[in-house]
C-alpha cells in the first residue's frame, strides 16, 4: 500500500467520525498552540531584552583602570591608546589622569578638595554613549538639558591652561550666573598638610582660565574640574615629587567605546591580547542572554508537556478506530495486505490527526500572538512601541511544532497500529 493511499484512507476515516476527530484534534491543537505561544513568548522577551540592552550605550564601553600602585598593572600610555583607536569596531576613546586640588579660589570664593580630571584632548571628553544616555533620560533632560556644555565652550587640543568647571561645583560656590565666569581666572592650589617636625613643601599654585561649564547631568558636571592631561600631570608631579608623570605612569583611566554591541566582545578580546585587564558589562549581557534562553526553553517545555498529555487522546482514538475496522482489517489481510501495510495505515492516520491538530493550533497561536501584540502597542502597556512583539512567533517555530506534533502523534499511534497488524484475519472476518 502506497503512502498516498494511506493518507487518502486516513482522511476518509477521520471524516467519518467527525466529533471524535474534532475532539482529539482539539486536544492536540491546544498542546501545539501552547508550544508555539510559549516559545514565541520566550523569544519575544529575549528579543525585547536584547534590543533594550543594545540601546544602553554604557554596555558598549570597555574600561581600563590604573589607579592603584600595583606595578604589575600595565601602564595606559598613548601608544597603546592609539592602537586601540585603530581596532575595527572602536568608535571613541577617552583617557584621563585623576587627581585632586587641595583648594580652588574663584571670585573670592573658595572650595576645598576638588577633583581634577585631566583628559587627553586628542580624544573625546564626552563620548557619544554618554550623550545618548543623557538624551534618553527625559527627567534629566527636563531638569538640566542635554548639552554637555551649558555655558562657554569645550576645551580643545591647545587649551592646556584652560579648564571646564562642573555645574555642581559652581552651585557649591554659590555662583548661579554661569556665563559671567567664562574667561575668568581661577586659582588651583595643591599642598600637603602641615606635619610638625617635618619640612613644609611650598604649595603648587596654578592660574587657569575657565573655558566652559559642564552640565550637572554629566559625570564631569559635579564637584569636578575638567582639564588637560598636561595640567593634571603637573599636579601629580607635585604629589609624587617627580617629573614627567604622564610618560612614567600613564593615564589613570581609559574608556574604549565599541560602535555596536556586536563588536564589544571582539574589541574587548583585542585589548586583553595587549596585556590589559578590562572591565565591561559584556559578561552581564551574556548572562542575561543565557537566562533568557533558559526561560524560553522552560516556557516551551511547558507547552510540550501539554502536547504529550494530548497524545494520550490519540491512543484512545486509534484504539477505537482499530476496534471499528476489525472486519475491514480481516478483509484486507485476506486480499494479501501484510502486517506492515496495516501498521502503516494506522500510523499514517495517527500522523494525520497530529497534522490537523498542529495546523489548527498554529493558526490560533498566530491570531492570539497578533492580537496580544497589537493591544500592548495600542494601549502602550509597559512602554510597548510599534514593532515590538511580546509574542514573537517565528516560522521555524511553527514548522518545528507541526513536525514534532506529527511525530508525537505517530508514536502514540504505534501501539494501536501494532495491535491491528497482529489481528488474525479469520477472527477479524467473524467479528461483528
pLDDT in tens, 197-206: 667 889 999 9
Confidence band of 422 (pLDDT split at 50, 70, 90): low
Determine the length of the chain. 432
Confidence band of 352 (pLDDT split at 50, 70, 90): confident
pLDDT per position as a tens digit, 176-219? 999 999 999 999 999 988 877 667 889 999 999 999 999 999 99
Lowest mean pLDDT among 41-50, 344-353, 411-420: 411-420
pTM tops 0.95: no
pLDDT at 426 exceeding the cut of 60: no
List Cβ neighbours of 55 (8 Å cut-off, separation of 6 or more). 136
Q: What is the mean pLDDT of residues 8-23?
A: 73
What pLDDT shows up at residue 175?
92
How far apart, in whole angstroms, are the C-alpha atoms of residue 64 and residue 152?
30
pLDDT per position as a tens digit, 136-176? 788 888 899 999 999 999 999 888 899 999 999 999 999 99
pLDDT at 3 exceeding the cut of 80: no
Q: What is the mean pLDDT of residues 309-332?
A: 69
Lowest mean pLDDT among 50-64, 136-150, 191-205, 299-313: 50-64
If one compares 36 and 13, the residue with the highest pLDDT of the two is 36
pLDDT per position as a tens digit, 66-81? 865 555 678 899 999 9
How far apart, in whole angstroms, are the C-alpha atoms of residue 154 and residue 204?
25
Pairing of strands 185-190, 90-106: antiparallel
In 56-141, beta strands by DSSP E = 61-65, 90-106, 109-119
Structure letter (DSSP) for residue 68: S
pLDDT at 123 exceeding the cut of 70: yes
The candidate with the shortest Cα–Cα distance to 215, out of 257, 159, 164, 177, is 164
Mean pLDDT of the residues in the chain: 83
pLDDT at 431 exceeding the cut of 50: no
Crossing angle of helices 395-412 and 18-55, rounded to 10°: 140
How far apart, in whole angstroms, are the C-alpha atoms of residue 284 and residue 30?
37
The candidate with the shortest Cα–Cα distance to 187, out of 203, 207, 212, 202, is 207
**How big is the chain by its Cα radius of gyration, in Å?**
37
- Cβ pair 168, 222 in contact under 8 A: yes
pLDDT per position as a tens digit, 222-261? 999 999 999 999 999 999 888 989 988 999 999 999 888 8
Cα–Cα distances in Å, from 52 out to 27, 157, 377, 387?
37, 36, 16, 13
Unique residue bearing C-alpha cell 548572562: 287
What pLDDT shows up at residue 162?
95
What pLDDT shows up at residue 432?
46
- Cβ pair 423, 323 in contact under 8 A: no
Confidence band of 296 (pLDDT split at 50, 70, 90): confident
The candidate with the shortest Cα–Cα distance to 124, out of 84, 152, 88, 96, is 96
How far apart, in whole angstroms, are the C-alpha atoms of residue 365 and residue 185?
70
The candidate with the shortest Cα–Cα distance to 169, out of 232, 103, 266, is 103
The candidate with the shortest Cα–Cα distance to 117, out of 158, 165, 151, 78, is 165
In 217-341, beta strands by DSSP E = 224-228, 253-258
The candidate with the shortest Cα–Cα distance to 188, out of 204, 177, 174, is 204
How far apart, in whole angstroms, are the C-alpha atoms of residue 134 and residue 431?
82
What pLDDT shows up at residue 216?
94
Q: What is the mean pLDDT of residues 395-416?
A: 86
What pLDDT shows up at residue 210?
96
3-state secondary structure of 95: strand
Q: Is 196 exposed, middle or buried (0-12, 13-18, 19+ CB in 10 A)?
A: exposed
Q: Is 133 exposed, middle or buried (0-12, 13-18, 19+ CB in 10 A)?
A: middle
pLDDT at 94 exceeding the cut of 90: yes
pLDDT at 291 exceeding the cut of 70: yes
Amino acid at each position: 500500500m502506497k503512502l498516498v493511499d494511506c493518507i487518502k484512507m486516513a482522511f476518509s476515516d477521520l471524516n467519518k467520525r467527525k466529533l471524535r476527530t474534532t475532539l482529539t484534534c482539539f486536544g492536540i491543537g491546544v498542546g501545539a498552540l501552547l508550544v508555539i505561544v510559549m516559545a514565541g513568548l520566550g523569544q519575544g522577551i529575549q528579543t525585547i531584552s536584547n534590543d533594550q540592552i543594545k540601546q544602553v550605550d554604557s554596555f558598549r564601553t570597555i574600561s581600563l583602570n590604573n589607579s592603584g600602585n600595583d606595578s604589575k598593572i600595565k601602564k595606559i600610555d598613548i601608544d597603546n591608546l592609539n592602537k586601540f583607536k585603530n581596532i575595527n569596531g572602536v568608535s571613541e576613546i577617552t583617557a584621563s589622569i585623576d587627581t585632586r586640588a587641595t583648594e580652588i579660589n574663584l571670585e573670592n570664593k573658595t572650595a576645598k578638595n576638588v577633583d581634577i580630571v585631566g583628559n587627553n584632548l586628542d580624544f573625546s571628553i564626552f563620548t557619544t554613549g554618554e550623550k545618548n544616555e543623557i538624551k534618553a533620560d527625559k527627567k534629566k533632560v527636563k531638569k538640566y538639558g542635554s548639552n554637555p556644555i551649558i555655558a562657554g565652550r569645550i576645551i580643545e587640543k591647545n587649551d592646556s591652561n584652560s579648564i571646564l568647571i562642573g555645574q555642581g561645583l559652581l552651585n557649591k560656590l554659590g555662583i548661579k550666573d554661569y556665563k559671567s565666569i567664562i574667561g575668568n581666572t581661577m586659582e588651583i592650589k595643591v599642598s600637603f598638610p602641615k606635619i610638625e617636625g617635618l619640612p613644609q613643601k611650598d604649595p603648587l599654585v596654578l592660574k587657569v582660565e575657565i573655558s566652559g561649564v559642564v552640565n550637572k547631568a554629566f559625570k564631569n558636571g559635579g564637584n569636578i574640574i575638567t582639564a588637560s592631561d598636561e595640567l593634571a600631570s603637573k599636579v601629580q608631579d607635585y604629589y609624587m615629587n617627580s617629573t614627567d608623570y604622564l610618560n612614567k605612569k600613564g593615564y589613570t583611566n581609559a574608556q574604549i567605546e565599541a560602535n555596536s554591541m556586536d563588536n564589544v566582545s571582539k574589541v574587548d578580546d583585542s585589548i586583553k591580547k595587549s596585556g590589559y585587564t578590562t572591565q565591561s558589562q559584556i559578561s552581564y549581557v551574556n548572562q542575561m542572554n543565557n537566562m533568557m534562553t533558559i526561560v524560553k526553553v522552560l516556557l516551551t517545555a511547558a507547552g510540550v508537556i501539554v502536547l504529550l498529555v494530548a497524545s494520550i487522546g490519540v491512543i484512545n482514538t486509534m484504539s477505537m478506530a482499530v476496534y471499528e475496522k476489525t472486519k475491514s482489517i480481516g478483509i484486507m489481510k485476506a486480499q494479501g495486505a501484510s502486517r506492515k501495510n496495516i501498521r502503516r495505515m494506522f500510523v499514517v492516520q495517527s500522523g494525520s490527526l497530529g497534522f490537523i491538530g498542529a495546523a489548527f493550533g498554529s493558526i490560533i497561536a498566530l491570531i492570539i500572538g497578533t492580537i496580544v501584540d497589537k493591544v500592548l502597542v495600542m494601549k502602550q502597556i509597559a512602554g510597548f512601541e510599534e514593532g515590538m512583539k511580546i509574542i514573537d512567533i517565528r516560522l521555524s517555530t511553527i514548522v518545528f511544532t507541526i513536525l514534532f506534533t506529527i511525530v508525537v502523534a505517530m508514536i502514540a499511534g504505534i501501539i494501536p497500529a501494532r495491535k491491528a497488524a497482529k489481528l488474525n484475519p479469520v477472527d477479524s472476518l467473524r467479528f461483528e
